C-alpha cells in the first residue's frame, strides 16, 4: 500500500509540475489541480497509513487509542480540499477573463511566439 500511494503522489506531483510550466493557461490550471491532489494525498499519508482503524471514537469507552487512526490529518485534508477547490474556481474565472481580454490562452497574454 505504501508503494502504491508513494507512486501515486509522485506521478501526480511530476505531472502537475510539468503542466504548470506549460505556456497555456488551461494546462497551468490542470497542473495546479494535480499538484493539489498530490498534496492532499501527502497530508493524508502523514497521518500514517492504517487499515481497519476508525478515526472517530464511538459511544463505547475507549480502552486502547492505538486501535484508532489519527483524525487530524483527515480534517486538514478536508480543509485543504475545500480551499484548493475554491481557488481553482477563481482561477478559472480569471482564465476566462484573460482569454476574453487578450484573445489568447497563453499565460503571458501574448500569442506572437
Partner 1 sequence: MTSDWLNHLIIAPILLPLVASALLLLLDERRRLAKNAIALATLVAVLVVSVTLLLQTVRVGISGDSATRVYLIGDWAAPFGIVLVADWLSDLMLVLTAVIALAAFVYALARWDRAGPRFQALFLLQIMGLNGAFLTGDLFNLFVFFEILLAASYGLLLHGSGAERIKAGLHYVAINVGASLLFLIGVALIYGVTGTLNMADLGTIIPGVAGGDLALLQSGFAVLGIAFLLKAGMWPLGFWLPRTYAAAVPPAAAVFALLSKVGIYALLRVYLLLFGSEVGWEGNFGEEWLLFGGIATVAYGTIGVLAAQTLSRVAGFCVIISSGTLLASIGASEGTSLSPILFYMVSSTLGLSAFYLLLELVERREAEASVQAIVEPVFDDEYTGTISEPDAEEVGIVIPATIALLGGAFAFCALLLAGLPPLSGFIAKFAIIHNLLNLGPEVSAPVWAFVFLLIGSGLAILVATTRAGIDLLWEPSDKPQPPLRVAEAVPVGALLAICLGLMIFASPVMRYMERTSISLQDRQGYINAVLGAQRNTAESPP
Task: Note the residues at the interface with partner 1 (CB under 8 A).
Answer: 20, 25, 28, 32, 35-36, 39, 42-43, 45-47, 70, 72-73, 76, 79-80, 83-84, 86-88, 90-91, 94-95, 97-98, 101-102, 107-109
Minimum CB separation of residue 83 from partner 1 in Å reads 5
**DSSP three-state, residue 85:** helix
Q: Which CB atom, from 32 or from 69, has the smaller least distance to partner 1?
A: 32
Pair 55, 70: CB distance under 8 Å: yes
Minimum CB separation of residue 9 from partner 1 in Å reads 10
Give CA–CA dist 57/94, Å, rounded: 43
Could you tell me the CA-to-CA distances from 27 to 52, 58, 97 in Å, in that order? 38, 44, 16
Residue 96: all three cell numbers together: 476566462
Pair 19, 30: CB distance under 8 Å: yes
Q: Which CB atom, from 4 or from 83, has the smaller least distance to partner 1?
A: 83
Minimum CB separation of residue 63 from partner 1 in Å reads 21
Minimum CB separation of residue 20 from partner 1 in Å reads 7
Amino acid at each position: 500500500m505504501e508503494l502504491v500511494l508513494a507512486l501515486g503522489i509522485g506521478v501526480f506531483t511530476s505531472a502537475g509540475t510539468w503542466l504548470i510550466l506549460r505556456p497555456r493557461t488551461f494546462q497551468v490550471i490542470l497542473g495546479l489541480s494535480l499538484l493539489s491532489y498530490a498534496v492532499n494525498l501527502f497530508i493524508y499519508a502523514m497521518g500514517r497509513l492504517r487499515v481497519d482503524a476508525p478515526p472517530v471514537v464511538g459511544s463505547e469507552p475507549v480502552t486502547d487509542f492505538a486501535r484508532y487512526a489519527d483524525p487530524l490529518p483527515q480534517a486538514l485534508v478536508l480543509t485543504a480540499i475545500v480551499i484548493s477547490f475554491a481557488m481553482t474556481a477563481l482561477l478559472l474565472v480569471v482564465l476566462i477573463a484573460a482569454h476574453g481580454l487578450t484573445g489568447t490562452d497563453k499565460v503571458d497574454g501574448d500569442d506572437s511566439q
